[in-house]
Amino acid sequence: MFLIFLSLILSSYALLTNGKCTECLIPTLVYEDLNCTPKYSDSNQCCPLEYDCSNIYNRPKDTCHLRGKFYQPGDIPNKEDVAGFCEHALCECGQKGIFKCIVASDSCAEFWVPNFIKPGCYLTHEQNRCCHVDQKCPPFDEDAAKCEVEDKLYKEGEKFEHPSKKCTKCICNKGFTGKLDNSFCQRHNCTTELLWSESINNYCAPAYLRWEDCCPRKWICPLETGTYALPSTLPPADSPKCKFGDKTMVLGEKYTHERQTCECIIPPYLTCKY
């Protein structure tokens, strides 16, 4: 009964191919970023039924956590752990396991400086870094790596999206033989715990502008003026549940506040769109 109900919930949020789910259409990368454990049904090993995020809430309450490392109050996170973070910020571990950050700028220079890329030049990148590391201009080194992917040629250090794996960035480098493995490709790093540790601790919900987004743009916390709506058919009692603030919500249950809509689709968090 539960699996039948869940299939109805997920039918609007999963891509079906030959009757089998091939991937979730709502973002789930945030769960990977938080190191949560996916749980699948026996018949569906692609789009998880839910994630187990108990590791987050079983940690010492007075320590901060980022990418598998613990920090004491006053500690500054390692540079390599925040290098992929696109909002340049100075952060330190504060009280109650919450990072305190001062955002210095809102993006990499190439995104907002006019005519940043010189004519005929291109930007080079490295893994675990959001912004470019250099700008290469002619004449180019003839011995530099070249990577051909789906009939498109990339230069050494050039960044491109994986042609078939969503939310995966690849960088052309020496040794490329046509195989897009972990040596050249890496899942996007949302660095969720850096700016949103307080929201995570309080069971708020990740929010997206589009379902195609890899990382949440913000987190939404419950407000007294928000409204809740149960699904027309209640799920079985043993089905997974979401938590939103202090409230436990069933699959298909929605929370709405102004133009923000959140729904319990893949627990334990609601998924929001605004």
Query: Does a structural domain hold residue 167?
Result: yes
pLDDT digits (tens, 9 = 90+) for 230-269: 999 999 999 999 999 999 999 999 999 999 999 999 999 9
Same domain, 267 and 204: yes
The pLDDT value given to residue 14: 60
The pLDDT value given to residue 249: 99
Cβ 31 vs Cβ 53: under 8 Å: yes
Task: Using the predicted structure, report yes or no on whether residue 136 has a pLDDT greater than 90.
Answer: yes
Looking at 185, 202, 229, the residue that finishes a domain is: 185
Looking at 159, 185, 211, the residue that finishes a domain is: 185
Looking at 152, 185, 218, the residue that finishes a domain is: 185
- pTM score, two decimals? 0.84
Same domain, 171 and 214: no
Query: Does a structural domain hold residue 205?
Result: yes
Give the range of the structural domain holding residue 140, as residue numbers without chain letter: 117-185
Task: Using the predicted structure, report yes or no on whether residue 12 has a pLDDT greater than 60.
Answer: no
Same domain, 151 and 208: no
pLDDT digits (tens, 9 = 90+) for 161-193: 999 898 999 999 999 999 999 999 999 888 889
* CB-based burial, 202-223: b 16+ in 10 Å, e otherwise: ebbbbbbeeeebbbbebbbebe
Same domain, 231 and 265: yes
Identify residue 7 by its one-letter amino acid code: S
For the chain, the domain total comes to 2
Same domain, 267 and 199: yes
